[in-house]
Chain A
Amino acid sequence: MNNTKKPNFIILIFSVLLGVFMAGQFKQNIPILAPVTLRAIQTTKNEINVLNKEIQDLNKMINDKEEQLKVLESIASGDENIIDILIDELEKNRTVAGFQEVEGSGIVIKMQDNMAEGAFGEEYDLDIVHDIDVLRIINDLKGAGAEAISINGQRILSVTEIKCGGPIIRVNGKGLVTPFYIKAIGDPKLLNAAINAPNTYSYALKNIDQINIETTVEDNIKIPAYRGRFNFKYAKPIKEGD
């Protein structure tokens, strides 16, 4: 009797213990644990960064709007004249849009065809400055944070085309000939690096195709205003709330 009862009793006790453990596990309400890979961590990090950036931008926007609100309040209370404020705003917008002559530190790039006799590759095509060369250099300048760019006095804007026109290149509908003087306002060091650093496009142009590219860093460059007119026929602004 005792022999058969005792094991059952012990098993019962330990089963209870096991049940208690199990209940503890049940109470955890464990979510499904997916293995976290390094890639997932990286992705999440990126997402967090993007979100933080967004938050920063939004905060900036809030500050801007608050400033605007202050201006409007001061108008309402009669401290400032609305015409002055509007003129200020207009000046700012004209500068941003490129309708204002601007000056500042930057670099001047002179590009000229390869004039040497025994030209590279014995092919004229490789010795001349093409529209695409200018375009790429301007793209590099923009990438380096150039705030205003002009070629031979033609302001480069979002609508500016740079097209091959045979012996000339066409910019803003005007024909330009070599030598091309590209002026760019921005951080001179960065702009210089974008043009002269090894493995940039213009570095290759200079050292492989032997195109004459000279850059000078200057403290005070004047870049003229855009002289054309914007006439948007098709693009219409979307009103907020539409």
Chain B
Amino acid sequence: MFFALMGILAGVVIGLMLPYTYNAAYSLYISVAILACLDSVFGGLKANLENKFDTSIFITGFFGNAILAAFLAYIGDRLGVPLYYAAIFTFGGRLFENFASIRRILLFKRKHKSNE
């Protein structure tokens, strides 16, 4: 949890300092991809807490989900159907599920410690 927050903060700072920008037309795709990445990070945190973390699964999930979400948004734009909703609902829902699991695990650990 701590590492992820620190990493995101550091990344934002670095990103704001870097002089790169991209075409505003892609911002929808990027934002959906960011949501997918966020979900992957939360999933990774959860797996880490459960001691089930697998590096290759995490990395493929991180990039795969992001690319798939962006691609879905793009296809949706071409077809005139807002397909990116699929990505938003899936990853948004999973984000909250993962967060709930992380919360439970952390709370459970603390209780366990205080009981001892």
A-side residues, CB < 8 A to B, are 6-28, 30, 33
Contacts and interface: CB of A to CB of B under 8 A. Distances in A.
Interface stretch (B40-48, B89-97, B101-109): B40-48
Contacts, number: 112
A13 B11 CA distance: 9
Q: Which of B4, B21, B31, B47 has the most CB of A within 10 A?
A: B4
B6 A24 contact: no
Given A7-B48, A15-B3, A15-B41, A24 B11 contact: no
Nearest to A15: B7
Contacts of A25: 27, 30-31, 34
Query: Would you call the interface of chain A mostly helix, strand, loop, or mixed?
Result: helix
Given A8-B48, A21-B15, A26-B12, A14 B34 contact: no
A71 B89 CA distance: 73
B48 A18 contact: no
- Place the interface of chain B in its size category: 35 or more
Q: Rank and list the top 7 A-B pairs by shortest CB-CB distance, nearest first.
A: A19-B11, A23-B15, A15-B7, A20-B15, A7-B53, A16-B11, A19-B8
A10 B10 contact: no
Contacts of A23: 11-16, 18
A21 B22 CA distance: 11
B40 to A, nearest CB: 7
Interface in B20-74: 20-22, 24, 27-28, 30-31, 33-34, 37-38, 40-41, 44-45, 47-48, 53, 55, 58-59, 62
A26 B24 CA distance: 11
Contact of A24 (B15, B37, B38): B15
Given A8-B48, A16-B14, A22 B41 contact: no
A17 B11 contact: yes
B78 to A, nearest CB: 16
Contact of B12 (A8, A10, A19): A19
B75 interface: no
A28 B10 contact: no
A14 B14 contact: no
A205 B89 CA distance: 66
A11 B12 contact: no
A108 B47 CA distance: 94
A10 B4 CA distance: 10
Q: Which of A8, A9, A11, A27 has the most CB of B within 10 A?
A: A11
B33 A21 contact: yes
Contacts of A7: 44, 47-48, 53, 55, 58
Contacts of A10: 44, 55, 58-59
B18 to A, nearest CB: 7
B73 to A, nearest CB: 13
